[in-house]
A and B are shown apart, each in its own frame.
Chain A
Amino acid sequence: MAAKAFDEMNSGTSGPGGTDSIRAPYRGVANWLARTSPERVAATRHEVDLFYRRHGITFGAYGAVDGHEATIPFDIIPRVMAWDEWEYLHKGLVQRVQALNAFLADAYGARDICRAGVVPESQILMNGEFVAMAQGLALPGGVHAHIAGIDLVRVGEKDFYVLEDNVRTPSGVSYVLENREVMMRLAPELFSAMRVLPVANYSEELLATLRSVSFSDDAEPNVVLLTPGHFNSAYFEHAFLADEMGIELCEGADLFVDEGRVYMRTPRGPQRVDVIYRRVDDAFLDPLAMRPDSFLGVAGLLGALRAGRVNIVNALGNGVADDKSTYTYVPEMIRFYLGEEPILSNVPTWRCDRPDDFKYVLEHLPELVVKEVHGSGGKGMLVGPTSSKAEIESFADLVRARPDNYIAQPTLALSTCPTFVGQGVAPRHVDLRPYVLSGRKVTIIPGGLTRVALKEGSLVVNSSQGGGTKDTWVLAPEAGSGG
């Protein structure tokens, strides 16, 4: 196992003589834990589960055979960040997403970054996620990644890393909002003792972002959310966001294209659609342009996009910016497009398509994390330190067969947070996914989704792999701290 992890509550060194091991942002939580009886906690956890089921806040993990509606475990001990910690992350996130958007506009435009020799053209053109039809479009505001989920991990008091960027259709924000509702209901006493910055304005900011990127200059452009339907594992989130924003939740069959414009079918007759917040993957968006067997999309949609009659959010072909091999270029993108030094660091990454890296990776598999370039959801990866010899050997064969399909990173000692487990409170590894909204301006609600690996020692936080979530609290700046 990796070296002892930084614990966000207990790794403090402040206080007289550096003796206070509780870090400042967690004092309220530590007091609350000391005061609250195990029975109260058990009762509260039960209430949480009932609340989620009754609300139908469910998540269907792919491959679940029966009862495809499962709830994601929610841990009631919040993860807390001080204002200055968040302020630093916020700056870094804005910078990173601005660079990613500049890169996407460039990748589907002039490709200056390739001519400057910073990113090889093949990295874009040979990428399986590249969508040729999306070239040469002037999207409103030049924005491609309107909603970005940037996965961050922490390994020390001041050490944060970006683990990966998600600029296709990042999900999970509904849990941020619902977790907060649950916490306010279940632990009001804890809330009132600490000044927690609110997150409930996400939907309003999202709607404003979506409206701001309409091609039309209509004061109230018609925005809809396009879902693959109620069998999709994230359907709850789609319905939740549509409800919060007061926009229509559409499936492909609700929309049609006529003379280059997109309309929705209503009992009043066709109504024009200006912006589509789609939660359908690129390949299924338009059977005329992409996969002809798709029933989830709308025939002619890409034509309407190219004609500047409808905007699609996030833009098509964003996968070229967030796969794990493009990831290694992001620090260079920041320097190239913004002329700034990156605020947030990348995790050092070996690319198996480079001979030196390939050799190093195969020699050090037991200590590395190896991932598929296009993998997601914690599948298709090897966590060296927790794998058996046999598992490592068979994974090595996969890497040898297709080196270009893999990258490797050192096994990070992800920070831990106190978490309720069967036996009481114990440290568990966490990550953080803030949601960055980019329209005519960039907005980030404080915090984001904290995912927690509930299994002892596990570093895999994905909900499909037994991960849970926590409410993430960013504390308001202390009066007089100048924050």
Chain B
Amino acid sequence: MLSSTAKNLYWMGRYLQRAKSTARLIEATQRMALQSRGEEAAGVAAIFGMEDEFRQTQEQGGRLASLIDFLVVDESNPSSIVSSIAAARSNAREERNNITVDVWESLNALWLELGSRLRSDRATLDRGALIESVKKQAVMIFGAAQVTLLRDEAYHFLQLGAFLERADNTARIVDVKFHLLRPDGDPHADKPDYFAWSEVLACIGAVRTYRRIYRSALDPAKVAELMVLRRDVPRSVHHCLWMVDLNMRELADAYGTRGEADRLAGELHTRLRYARIDKIFEIGLAKFLGGVRDDIATLSDEIGSQFLLD
């Protein structure tokens, strides 16, 4: 397998996951807005690191709707959903010969669908339906990858990209939301706002999961534990970094070599695996997550220099 193939599949995984996470996040935010809580738009902007852009849209009289357009359909925003899908599709198109027809067709179908939706009149564009499509099709694409791809190096690079992106996404959501809702960093400062905290869980689609696991009222410390440390929650930071480590080990076995990326992946996984939520709040959640996110960024760079030759 070529290095350029590894690189394309890694980025295909990242972009697809980015589109999927953004779709889910916006959906949760919109539902929250319908229940008329304040600050949702500011919160979303913060998650995407775009507070300045958001302030500008506010000065222009725009609010949540224009921010959402920026995140969903704006082709000039490289991280928007449509840009991410286009990028993933372009990566996949370059690797037509390294992915299955099922994976390619489901991704290409989504790209074609977005294209035809965007060509229609913007005033009548059904953003909700578009977001719903992205969520559904992304599941189809990852599902097709799961059941049809040969378990070779190419597959592991796709998985690496998707799980690194997802780990970073969840870490960012928890970081920003806690900062907004608990600026002092104390999870037990006052009575938790049910709507606000269920929205946090909804960002990773884990409201019902919370009930199944804890069978109790929403408690910010438990929300953090679920999203960061629970290994059995597929979008938790821990689960994703576990998967990253697993795929790194498969690659190391295949290649018979190990490097800094392998060490860092193992260290990150172990850090999440042995952490306890009360200890994390003692040192400060923001500090802990900041460290994890910095290391995820470093890991991505290390993977680049170790395998992808960029």
Interface, chain A (partner B; CB < 8 A): 53-56, 229-230, 235-236, 239-240, 242-243, 248-251, 253-254, 264-268
B4 and A267 within 8 A (CB): no
Q: How far is the CA of A240 from the CA of B99 in the complex (A)?
A: 11
Q: Does B217 contact A (CB under 8 A)?
A: no
Other-chain residue from A55, A243, A267 in contact with B105 (beta carbon distance below 8 A): A55
Residue interface bits B143-156, CB-to-A below 8 A is 1, else 0: 00000000001000
Q: Does B118 contact A (CB under 8 A)?
A: no
* Residues of the A chain whose Cβ atoms lie less than 8 Å from the Cβ of B94: 229-230, 239
The 8 closest A-B pairs by CB, nearest first: A243-B97, A239-B96, A267-B307, A242-B97, A265-B3, A254-B2, A239-B97, A56-B108
Interface, chain B (partner A; CB < 8 A): 1-6, 90, 93-98, 101, 104-105, 108-109, 112, 153, 251, 254-255, 307-309
Q: How far is the CA of A251 from the CA of B307 in the complex (A)?
A: 18
In this complex, what residue of A is CB-closest to B1? A266
Cβ of A185 to closest chain B Cβ, rounded Å: 13
In this complex, what residue of B is CB-closest to A56? B108
Cβ of A317 to closest chain B Cβ, rounded Å: 28
The verdict on A266 contacting B104 (CB below 8 Å), with A54-B109, A230-B94, A239-B96 known, is: no
B2 and A56 within 8 A (CB): no
User: Would you mind naming 26 contact pairs between A and B with Cβ atoms under 8 Å apart?
Assistant: A54-B109, A55-B101, A55-B105, A56-B93, A56-B96, A230-B93, A230-B94, A236-B96, A239-B96, A240-B96, A240-B97, A242-B97, A243-B96, A243-B98, A248-B2, A249-B95, A250-B2, A253-B4, A254-B2, A254-B4, A265-B3, A265-B4, A266-B1, A266-B2, A267-B255, A267-B307
Q: How far is the CA of A265 from the CA of B307 in the complex (A)?
A: 10
Q: How far is the CA of A240 from the CA of B90 in the complex (A)?
A: 16
Cβ of B47 to closest chain A Cβ, rounded Å: 33
* Residues of the A chain whose Cβ atoms lie less than 8 Å from the Cβ of B309: 265
Cβ of A91 to closest chain B Cβ, rounded Å: 35
* Residues of the B chain whose Cβ atoms lie less than 8 Å from the Cβ of A266: 1-3
In this complex, what residue of B is CB-closest to A267? B307
B112 and A54 within 8 A (CB): yes
A267 and B97 within 8 A (CB): no
Cβ of A181 to closest chain B Cβ, rounded Å: 11
Other-chain residue from A53, A229, A249, A253 in contact with B97 (beta carbon distance below 8 A): A249
B97 and A265 within 8 A (CB): no
Cβ of B31 to closest chain A Cβ, rounded Å: 33
- The listed residue with most A CB atoms (<10 A of its CB), out of B6, B90, B94, B112, is B94
* Residues of the B chain whose Cβ atoms lie less than 8 Å from the Cβ of A55: 101, 104-105, 108
In this complex, what residue of B is CB-closest to A247? B97
Q: How far is the CA of A308 from the CA of B106 in the complex (A)?
A: 44
B112 and A53 within 8 A (CB): yes
- The listed residue with most A CB atoms (<10 A of its CB), out of B5, B90, B254, B307, is B5
The verdict on A268 contacting B96 (CB below 8 Å), with A54-B112, A55-B105 known, is: no
Q: How far is the CA of A243 from the CA of B99 in the complex (A)?
A: 9
Q: How far is the CA of A54 from the CA of B89 in the complex (A)?
A: 12
A251 and B4 within 8 A (CB): yes
Cβ of B251 to closest chain A Cβ, rounded Å: 7
Q: How far is the CA of A230 from the CA of B307 in the complex (A)?
A: 22
B90 and A267 within 8 A (CB): no
In this complex, what residue of B is CB-closest to A67? B115
In this complex, what residue of A is CB-closest to B115? A67
- The listed residue with most A CB atoms (<10 A of its CB), out of B6, B93, B255, is B93
Other-chain residue from A229, A230, A251, A267 in contact with B6 (beta carbon distance below 8 A): A267
Cβ of A270 to closest chain B Cβ, rounded Å: 10
* Residues of the B chain whose Cβ atoms lie less than 8 Å from the Cβ of A54: 105, 108-109, 112
Q: How far is the CA of A55 from the CA of B309 in the complex (A)?
A: 31
Q: How far is the CA of A267 from the CA of B95 in the complex (A)?
A: 16
Q: How far is the CA of A230 from the CA of B89 in the complex (A)?
A: 12
Q: How far is the CA of A239 from the CA of B5 in the complex (A)?
A: 12
Cβ of B253 to closest chain A Cβ, rounded Å: 12
* Residues of the B chain whose Cβ atoms lie less than 8 Å from the Cβ of A251: 4
Q: How far is the CA of A264 from the CA of B309 in the complex (A)?
A: 12
* Residues of the A chain whose Cβ atoms lie less than 8 Å from the Cβ of B3: 254, 265-267
* Residues of the A chain whose Cβ atoms lie less than 8 Å from the Cβ of B2: 248, 250, 254, 264-266
Q: How far is the CA of A251 from the CA of B3 in the complex (A)?
A: 11
Q: How far is the CA of A236 from the CA of B97 in the complex (A)?
A: 10
A267 and B96 within 8 A (CB): no
Other-chain residue from B5, B6, B104, B308 in contact with A56 (beta carbon distance below 8 A): B104
- The listed residue with most A CB atoms (<10 A of its CB), out of B3, B6, B90, B105, is B3
- The listed residue with most A CB atoms (<10 A of its CB), out of B93, B95, B96, B251, is B96
Q: How far is the CA of A250 from the CA of B109 in the complex (A)?
A: 26
In this complex, what residue of B is CB-closest to A248? B2
A267 and B93 within 8 A (CB): no
Cβ of A244 to closest chain B Cβ, rounded Å: 8
* Residues of the B chain whose Cβ atoms lie less than 8 Å from the Cβ of A236: 96
13 other contacts beyond A240-B97, A248-B1, A265-B3, with CB at 8 A cut-off?
A56-B93, A230-B94, A236-B96, A242-B97, A248-B2, A248-B5, A249-B95, A249-B96, A249-B97, A253-B4, A265-B309, A266-B3, A267-B255
In this complex, what residue of A is CB-closest to B111? A56
B108 and A267 within 8 A (CB): no
Q: How far is the CA of A263 from the CA of B78 in the complex (A)?
A: 34
The verdict on A230 contacting B255 (CB below 8 Å), with A53-B112, A54-B112 known, is: no
Q: How far is the CA of A229 from the CA of B108 in the complex (A)?
A: 18
In this complex, what residue of B is CB-closest to A253? B4
Cβ of A70 to closest chain B Cβ, rounded Å: 13
